[in-house]
């Protein structure tokens, strides 16, 4: 009886649905805005994105990114002309830190995207198809997860040779298993849900079930993880840069800058300090944003 009523008033039903989803959206925004830390995270991430986007046009000494040499003003302390001081060849540290945001954004995006692109399909296959294939996928994942990511990345970079491309490749290679684990668990849980069973009962194809019923429900945990991973990947790449295996100077990468600046401590303290602050604020932003998103998407942890 109810279905007949609904089928006579399809538009009203559509409006009801819309209204409830805007209500839901407004509730999300309210939850997010109420939390000071989520808002801080969003602001930090937006600032970082803005700096990465317009960096090359706002920096005072654009030529300093490509290793220009001004020996007459090397290792100058922070001043009005050089807010963060200058480095050992006279480059403006402020310019290089600002341009480093763009480098870090690239690194974070590439690693996270590659990892998700490899990990998510594997996780769905392992969780939904299962069987021997699923078993193999999960065993391989476990092996990768059994070695600390940084050590494995070190091994891969050691094999491929230092450099920013190899560092990103290595980190992407060690990053995907986390997504397999996440999506696998989620897929297993969803496969047992009534709505998936119902879809199967009415004869929906496997592909359609995966794309229409399972994947959309995996999106929110993936987004939360991706936000967190942006931060962690940037941190890891900076770590590789610091030990000399990532970006090579004079490329304006934060980790590599800290590494060279280290030789100039303690007298020329600004050299290492400001790139580190850049990393800290960026990673902090992505972590807080990830936390805020989780509070919205995961009602269980909603306090």
Applying CB under 8 A, which residues contact other proteins?
37, 139-140, 142-144, 146-152, 154-162, 231, 235, 238-239, 242-245, 255, 258, 262, 265-266, 269, 272-273, 276, 279-280, 283-284, 287-288, 291, 301, 303
For other proteins, the closer of residues 171 and 209 by Cβ is 171
What is the nearest approach in angstroms of other proteins to the Cβ of residue 14?
A: 39
Q: What is the DSSP string of the chain?
A: -HHHHHHH-HHHHHHHHHHHHHHHHHHHHHHHHH-HHHHHHHHHHHHHHHHHHHHHHH-S-GGGGGT---GGGTTPPS-SS-TT-B-TTS-BHHHHHHHHHHHHHHHHHHHHHHHHHHHHHHHHIIIII-HHHHHHHHHHHHHHHTS-HHHHHHHHHHHH-SSHHHHHHHHHHHHTHHHHHHHHHHHHHHHTSHHHHHHHHTT--HHHIIIIIIHHHHHHHHHHHHHHHHHHHHHHHHHHHHTTSSSPTTS--HHHHHHHHGGGTTTTTHHHHHHHHHHHHHHHHHHHHHHHHHHHH-GGG--
Closest CB 222 distance from other proteins, rounded Å: 20
Say how many residues make up the chain: 303
* Least distance to other proteins, CB of residue 91, Å: 20
Closest to other proteins by CB, 214 vs 296, is: 296
Smallest gap from residue 56 Cβ to other proteins (A): 24
Nearer to other proteins, 170 or 215 (CB): 170
The residue (of 98 and 283) whose beta carbon lies closer to other proteins is 283
CB of residue 13 to other proteins, shortest distance in Å: 38
Shortest CB 73 distance to other proteins, Å: 23
Select 76 or 177, whichever has its Cβ closest to other proteins.
177
Nearer to other proteins, 101 or 210 (CB): 101
Which is closer to other proteins, CB of 170 or CB of 196?
170
Nearer to other proteins, 37 or 220 (CB): 37
CB of 278 to other proteins, least distance (A): 10
Buried b (16+ CB within 10 A) or exposed e, 60-73: ebbebbeeeeeeee
Angle at 242 between CA 240 and CA 247, to 5 degrees: 65
Nearest Cα neighbor of 153 from 259, 224, 231, 233 is: 233
Residue with tokens 């309210």, as numbered in its chain: 30
């Amino acid at each position: 009886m109810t279905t007949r009523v609904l089928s006579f008033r399809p538009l009203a039903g559509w409006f009801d649905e819309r209204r409830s989803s805007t209500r839901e959206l407004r509730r999300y925004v309210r939850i997010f805005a109420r939390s000071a830390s989520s808002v801080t995270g969003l602001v930090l991430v937006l600032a970082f994105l803005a700096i990465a986007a317009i960096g090359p046009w706002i920096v005072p000494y654009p030529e300093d990114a490509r290793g220009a040499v001004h020996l007459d003003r090397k290792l100058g302390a922070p001043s009005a002309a050089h807010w963060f001081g200058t480095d050992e060849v006279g480059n403006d540290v402020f310019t290089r830190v600002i341009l480093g945001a763009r480098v870090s954004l690239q690194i974070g995006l590439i690693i996270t995207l590659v990892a998700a692109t490899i990990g998510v399909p594997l996780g769905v296959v392992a969780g939904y198809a299962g069987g021997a294939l699923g078993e193999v996928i999960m065993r391989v994942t476990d092996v990768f997860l059994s070695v600390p990511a940084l050590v494995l990345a070190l091994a891969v970079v050691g094999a491929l040779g230092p450099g920013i491309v190899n560092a990103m490749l290595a980190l992407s290679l060690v990053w995907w298993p986390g997504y397999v684990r996440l999506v696998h668990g989620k897929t297993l849980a969803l496969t047992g849900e009534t709505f998936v069973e119902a879809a199967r009962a009415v004869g929906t194809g496997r592909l359609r079930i995966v794309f229409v019923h399972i994947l959309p429900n995996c999106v929110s945990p993936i987004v939360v993880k991706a936000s967190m991973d942006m931060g962690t990947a940037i941190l890891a790449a900076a770590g590789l840069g610091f030990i000399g295996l990532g970006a090579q100077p004079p490329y304006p990468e934060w980790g590599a800058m800290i590494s060279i600046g280290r030789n100039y401590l303690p007298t020329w303290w600004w050299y290492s300090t400001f790139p580190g602050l850049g990393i800290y604020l960026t990673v902090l932003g992505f972590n807080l944003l990830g936390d805020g998103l989780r509070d919205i998407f995961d009602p269980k942890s909603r306090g």
